[in-house]
Structure 1
Amino acid sequence: MTDRSGAVLVLTNRYDVTSDVVLRKLAARRVPVVRLDPGADLYAGASLSAGYSRVGRRGTLRTASREVDLTEVRSVWVRRPSPYEGPAELDGQERRFAAAQSFWGTGGILGSLPGAHYVNHPWVNRAAEHKPAQLAAALRCGFQVPDTLITSDPDEAREFVAGQPGGAVYKPLWNTPYRVDGRPHSVWVREVRAEEVTAGVDRCPHLFQAKVGKAFDVRLTAVGDRMFGTRLDSPDLDWRRRQHLMRCTPIDVPELVARSVTRYLAELRLIYGAFDFAVTEGGAWCFLECNPNGQWAWQPAETTDAIAEALTDQLQKGPTP
């Protein structure tokens, strides 16, 4: 059937169970929803078309169960869609060509739906994922930020690390897939000493940062003007490493931090953001990063439900008149 009631378009992969929490809430509110994984579904029966002319724009998305007028989509939730890799039956340059055309064509259509409310816009997400941009924005917005150096100069890296009285850490600029002996391997945040900095630093940029003498970590999840804080007590420097050993409890967000979060979201044009802070014994919240599309359903049940409600509200309301 053709849906002209203003559907919510959810872009995510078939294995994303987190999105189901919000989809159930939208269904309970009788909000029409279309779920699409553009990097996979458009090679498996779904289709997408868009037309541009002097008389206006038109577009249609067809899935196995729905036909949607793209000009009437009220909101787009960019959750976790698969990457555009091209049809599996192709290989070599043909698959690379198809993947690139999908990225620029399909991605371009879905990123320019007229009047739709994006949470978050995919191009905004990509811009906000750059850690140098995050750090610069955090400073402008009034966050306390640990001294940081991004460099491919080994000597400068050694000098920086040696100059940190409380120690220094290394963290990757992007969570690039990595394998050791053929097995997936995660590159965690870890402490680093000056003598450990090798000439290999000149192969690519590396991020070094002053180690924060923290009492605990905080994940602050922001949805519009609503903020949800979770205190993280972990035995590890990087709490993501062994989450089964981590204790999570709700925590209030200080007013000064909340104001900086609001400024940050506005500056980077984000509706949603997952902020990570290290909190010192003295109570200072030190900004570490903001993932514009970070996971949130692992937090305490009451926090997870509140975040899901806030996301549902955003998607249901659609664009601001």
Structure 2
Amino acid sequence: MAPRTTGSVLIVTEADDLHGDALASTLRKHHGLNAIRLDMRDFPRENGTFRLGSDGTYRSLSHVLGLDGATSVWWRRPHPCGVPGSARTEDDSYRQAECDGFLQGLLWSIPALWVNDPGADRTANRKIVQLETAYRAGFAVPETLVTNDAHEARAFIESRPGPVVFKRTGTVRGAFTETRIVTPADLDRLPTIRNSPTIFQDYIQAECDLRIVWVDGIEWAVRIDSQSGVGRVDSRLDTAVAFTPDRLPASVSKSMTTLMGALGLAFGVLDLRVGLDGEFYFLEVNPQGQFAYLEIKTGMPIFESLANLLVLGDGTVTS
């Protein structure tokens, strides 16, 4: 891939996001660039303008300098605009929609390299889309049911030969919820899924878990010794176990390339589980996933790889 012309990098995320801070620092260190930061919740408290005329287009936000100079965008942690509430719900809904539509249009119209494309990012965040696409890409996927029907859920759980785990669909950012094995007490609470569709899956007895940061074809794979600690069901629960750099079998890499291409993602954080049968099971991909702790644990230059992608169009790290 030919190197891109160096320009500004726009990071769209929360003002206090550790990952945004780390990428900004990496861009300064390795490319001499000061990133443009934007927390979408600052609008409409700040002014925004889009203008189109015979001499082209112009975009501005009163608190963001150089917006039109951005040549790449990390769509890291976008938020709805911070529209203040009023006494009328219908007015609030209208103003929220108008502000979100304006700011999204202002940003999405920037002719830049997007990591990730906002439309692809939104679609790929849907767990059902991920699971179907991973299956078609050749991944082994645990037997799965996603439903809000308590009778369907109970029938699925009782039909499986081993334990079943449950987890939320995860399309809205919120408080952390762990993946858990269904217990007899949980069966009595199944009617509560009516208003909260839930994922039920076969529990995979594991050798280990893998978390892979995908940077446009480059795999930063980390083996997590999850079965030696308290995170045997959900590896996110224990960061005290061993984290070591790893390499994926060629067949798994091929499935991952197919998956990410079909989802239209240049970046993502994937979770795989290596079963006792030696199979690599797909669990999920998060286009906005956490990975700073993986770099801290292993020393792998993941942020440098991402910075290279945003500046040069190629995430390869040569040093």
TM-score normalised per structure 2: 0.85
Q: Which residue is equivalent to 1:121?
A: 117
Task: Indicate conservation of the 8 Å contact 1:76/1:117, yes or no.
Answer: yes
| Mapping of residues 112-191 of structure 1, within 5 Å | 112-114=109-111, 116-174=112-170, 186-191=176-181
TM-fit CA distance, 1:261: 1.0
Structure 1: runs of 5+ lacking an equivalent: 179-184
Q: Could you say if the C-alpha distance between residues 124 and 43 of structure 1 is closer, same or farther in structure 2, counting changes exceeding 3 Å?
A: same
- What is the distance in 1 between the residues matched to 2:211 and 2:157? 26
Q: Which residue is equivalent to 1:254?
A: 249
Q: Deviations over 1:31-87 (max 9, x none)?
A: 3521111221x3454x4322245x46412224547244x2x4210111123432313
- What is the distance in 2 between the residues matched to 1:177 and 1:38? 15
TM-fit CA distance, 1:112: 2.1
Task: Indicate conservation of the 8 Å contact 1:162/1:193, yes or no.
Answer: no
TM-fit CA distance, 1:202: 3.5
Answering whether residue 310 of structure 2 is matched by residue 315 of structure 1, we say yes
Q: Which residue is equivalent to 1:17?
A: 18
TM-fit CA distance, 1:11: 0.8
Q: Which residue is equivalent to 2:58?
A: 59
- What is the distance in 1 between the residues matched to 2:238 and 2:82? 31
TM-fit CA distance, 1:139: 0.7
TM-fit CA distance, 1:173: 0.7
Answering whether residue 73 of structure 2 is matched by residue 81 of structure 1, we say no
TM-fit CA distance, 1:177: 6.9
- What is the distance in 1 between the residues matched to 2:180 and 2:146? 16
Task: Indicate conservation of the 8 Å contact 1:228/1:303, yes or no.
Answer: no
TM-fit CA distance, 1:118: 0.3
Answering whether residue 266 of structure 2 is matched by residue 271 of structure 1, we say yes
CA RMSD of aligned residues (A): 2.6
SS of the equivalent of 2:32 reads coil
Task: Indicate conservation of the 8 Å contact 2:38/2:64, yes or no.
Answer: no
Q: Deviations over 1:91-133 (max 9, x none)?
A: 643444332212111012211212x100112222111110000
Aligned partner (choices 98, 105, 108) of residue 105 of structure 2 = 108
Answering whether residue 273 of structure 2 is matched by residue 283 of structure 1, we say no
Q: Could you say if the C-alpha distance between residues 64 and 102 of structure 1 is closer, same or farther in structure 2, counting changes exceeding 3 Å?
A: closer
Matched residues, percent identical?
Answer: 29
SS of the equivalent of 2:213 reads strand
- What is the distance in 2 between the residues matched to 1:276 and 1:311? 19
- What is the distance in 2 between the residues matched to 1:127 and 1:65? 28
- What is the distance in 2 between the residues matched to 1:304 and 1:107? 35
Q: Which residue is equivalent to 2:317?
A: none
Q: Which residue is equivalent to 2:301?
A: 306
Paired residue type of 1:209: Q
Q: Deviations over 1:256-288 (max 9, x none)?
A: 111111111111110101110111123211000
Structure 2: runs of 5+ lacking an equivalent: 315-319
TM-score normalised per structure 1: 0.85
TM-fit CA distance, 1:172: 0.6
Paired residue type of 1:111: W
Q: Could you say if the C-alpha distance between residues 57 and 142 of structure 1 is closer, same or farther in structure 2, counting changes exceeding 3 Å?
A: farther
Paired residue type of 1:49: T
